[in-house]
Structure 1
Amino acid sequence: MPFDPAIDARQLQEAVAAIRQHTDLEPELALVLGSGLGALADEVEDPVVLTTAEVPHYPQSTVEGHAGRLVIGRLAGRPVLVIQGRIHGYEGHDARALGFPVRLAHALGARGLLLTNAAGGINPAFGPGTLMLISDHLNLAFQSPLAGPVGEGEVRFPDLSNPYDEPWREQARNIAITRKIPYREGVYVWTSGPSYETPAEIRFFARVGADAVGMSTVPEALQAAALDLPVLGISTITNPAAGLQDTPLDHSEVLEVGRQVRDRLAAWVRGIVAESRL
C-alpha cells in the first residue's frame, strides 16, 4: 500500500521533536556509518546519544556491526549527526523506510550527507582494505524510497547525472592526497541481499562497469537527491566478491577488515568534515 504523504510528514515531525527534547544543535553534515565502521562515532565531542528506539517511527537495525544509535555533537569542530548503524531492505523494511534517516537528517538541518559502507571488491585492483570513493552507482535491487506519492519537500523526478557530488569528491580527493591516505575511485552496485552474490552475478556486474558491490547506500543517495542534499560516498573493500576468492564469504570477515582500516577511514572522514565546503 503506498504511503500517505501527510502521515509521512507527521511521523518525521514527531521524530524531530523527540530529538529536539535532547539537543538544539543543528548538524551541518550527516554521516551514515556502515558495517564495522561505527567506532568513528566515539570521536564526536559533547555527544548527545540516542538509540533509534527512542526516536518515534525510526526503523530498527538488526544487523551485527550496526549499533542503531544517533550521535549529535561536534566532529573536527563542526556540528554533525552520526547515524551509527544503518537499516537495510533485507531486514524487512520497505523501500520508503530506507530513506527515513536521510529525511530526518535533512529535517534537522543537515546540508550534506556522507555515506560509508563495507563492500565486496569486484575490480581485481581493489583488494581488501581499499578505500573507494564512490563515483556512481548501479541500482540492481530495482527499488527506490521515492516510489509512490511525492513526499514533503521532495522532487518528483530528481536528476541523477551527479549522484555523488563532483565538487565535494574533488575536495575529498585533495584531502586524501594531503593526508597521504591511499584510495581508489569506482562504481558501487546495490543488490538487495541478504545472500551474497553468485559468481555469475559478479561476472555480470564487472561487465557492466561495477567496481564494488554491497547491500546499502543507494537508497540513501536516492533519497538525498530528491531533497537536493549533496552526497559523498566511501566504500571500504572488505573482501573479494563471490568467485574471486577460494573461501566462502563471511560477515565476520567484513567486520574484521572494517576494524583494520578504520584509522585510515576515520582520518579521511575527519579531514572531510573539517575542510569540506558545500
Structure 2
Amino acid sequence: MYGKIQETASWLKERMTTSPKTAIILGTGLGQLASEITESYEFSYKDIPNFPVSTVEGHAGKLIFGKLGGKDIMAMEGRFHFYEGYSMKEVTFPIRVMYELGIQTLFVSNASGGMNPGFKIGDLMVINDHINFFPEHPLNGPNFPTGPRFPDMHEPYDSELIALADNIAKEKNIRLMHGVYVGVQGPTFETPAEYRMYHKLGGDAVGMSTVPEVIVARHCGIKVFGISVITDLGGFEVPVKVSHEEVQEAANNAQPFMTEIMREMIRRS
C-alpha cells in the first residue's frame, strides 16, 4: 500500500504547477466551494493511478488544485466511504497521498444529522471532538512510517483553528455551533433510538465519514479543522423522515456560510 501511495504522489507531483500546504475535503452537497477556487486545474479520480472512485450522488469525484483565500490549496470534491465497500485503507488513501505532497493542514466538511436540541437544520457545527463507531480502524495492520504505532488523540481538531473560525463567524455574524461528531458506518440513516443513544453518549451530530480521515491525518501530523452542516434532525419526540435529496438541499443552502468561513480561515492562517 505504501508503494502505491508514493506512486500516486509522484504521478501528481509531475503534473502539479502549485505547492499547496492546505487541503480541503468537500462532503455531500458541499461542492460549491470548488467554484471559488481560482487559477484551478483538476484531475478526475478515475485518471489518477491507484485512486478509488466516488460512487455517491453529490460527490463529483475530482481533485482540484488552485488558489483560495490567496493561498495554494488542493481540494477533494467527493470522498470515499466505508459503506461503498472500500476498506479503511482505501477510504483514507487520499490522506496518505496528501501527506506525501506536503499538506500540513486539512479542512474536512460533511453533511450530518443533528441530535442536539439546540441545533436547527442548516446550522454549521465546528467539530471539537469525535466518537468512532466504525467497525474497522484505519490504522489496523502494519504501522505506516508517518507516525507512532499508538498516536495521541487528545486534540484531534486543532484548537487554534477552531478559535480562528469562531472569530471569523463573530465578525461576519454567522451562527456557528460546536459539538462532537459521531462517525458511523451507514448507509442507513439513524433510527430514533440510535439518535438518542448517540446523544446520550455525548454526540451532537452523526454522519458516515470524516473520522477515519481525521485519524490518519493526525497520525501523519497534519493539523485538522472539521465542520458539519446539520442537514436533518433526529432523536426528538416526533420521528422525522429524511432522504438523501433533502440532505443535499440543506447542505446547498448552508454552503455560502461555510465557504466564507473556510476561505477567510485559509487567508489568515
Using the TM superposition, give the Cα deviation of residue 115 of structure 1 relative to its aligned residue in structure 2, in angstroms: 0.3
Contact 2:196 2:235 in 1 (8 A): no
Number of aligned residues: 269
Contact 1:97 1:145 in 2 (8 A): no
Aligned to 1:135, what secondary structure does the other structure show? strand
1:241 aligns with 2:234: yes
Residues 27, 81 of structure 1: 8 Å contact kept: yes
Equivalent-residue separation in structure 1 for 2:38 and 2:146 (angstroms) = 31
> Whole-Å Cα distance in 1 between the matches of residues 17 and 100 of structure 2?
13
TM-score, normalised relative to structure 2? 0.97
Could you tell me which residue of structure 2 aligns to residue 3 of structure 1? none
5+ residue gaps, structure 2:
none
Q: Residue 170 of structure 1 is aligned with which of 159, 163, 181? A: 163
1:38 corresponds to:
31
**Any idea what SS the aligned residue of 1:72 has?**
strand
2:206 counterpart (186, 189, 213): 213
How far has the Cα of 1:138 moved from its partner?
Answer: 0.4
What is the rounded CA distance, in whole Å, between the counterparts of 2:132 and 2:237 in structure 1? 22
- SS at the partner of 1:73? strand
Q: How far did residue 266 of structure 1 move?
A: 0.8
Change (3 A) 1:177 1:243: closer
Amino acid at match of 1:172: A
Instruction: Tell me which residue corresponds to 2:101.
Output: 108
Counterpart of 1:259 in structure 2 is: 252
Q: Give, in angstroms, the shift of residue 185 of structure 1.
A: 0.2
Unaligned runs of 5+ in 1: 1-7
- Cα distance in 2 between the residues matched to 1:244 and 1:83: 37
Residue aligned with 1:21, SS: helix
Deviations 1:177-215 (A, max 9, x none): 122211100000011001111111111111111000000
Question: Distance in 1 between the 2:27 and 2:203 partners?
Answer: 19
Comparing 97-106 with 110-119, greater Cα deviation is found at 97-106
Among 177, 180, 190, the alignment partner of 2:173 is 180
Cα contact 1:52–1:59 (8 A) shared by 2: yes
Q: Taking structure 1 as reference, are residues 69 and 170 closer, same or farther at Cα in structure 2, changes over 3 Å only?
A: same
What CA RMSD, in Å, does the superposition of the two structures yield over aligned residues?
1.3
TM-score, reference length from structure 1? 0.94
Task: Tell me which residue corresponds to 1:94.
Answer: 87
Shift of 1:134: 0.3
Please give the residue correspondences for 1:59-78 in structure 2 after superposition, counting only pairs within 5 Å: 59-78=52-71
- 2:50 aligns with 57
- Judging changes above 3 Å, is the alpha-carbon distance between structure 1 residues 244 and 37 closer, same or farther for their aligned structure 2 residues? farther
Deviation at 1:242, TM superposition (A): 5.5
Pairing 1:10-49 to 2, within 5 Å after superposition: 10-49=3-42
The amino acid across from 2:163 in the alignment is: E
State the match for 2:113 in structure 1: 120
Structure-2 separation of matches of 1:14 and 1:123: 43
- Secondary structure (helix, strand or coil) at the match of 2:33 reads helix
**1:231 offset after TM fit, Å?**
0.5
- Amino acid aligned to 1:115: V
Q: Deviations over 1:25-66 (max 9, x none)?
A: 121110000000011111111111101111111111100011
Which whole-Å deviations, capped at 9, do the CAs of 1:12-35 have from their partners, x for residues lacking one? 121112212321312111000000
Please give the alpha-carbon distance, in whole angstroms, between the structure 1 residues aligned to 2:14 and 2:22.
20
**Is the alpha carbon distance of 1:23 and 1:244 closer, same or farther for their aligned partners in structure 2, counting shifts above 3 Å?**
farther
Shift of 1:265: 0.9
Segment of structure 1 superposing worse, 44-53 or 240-249:
240-249
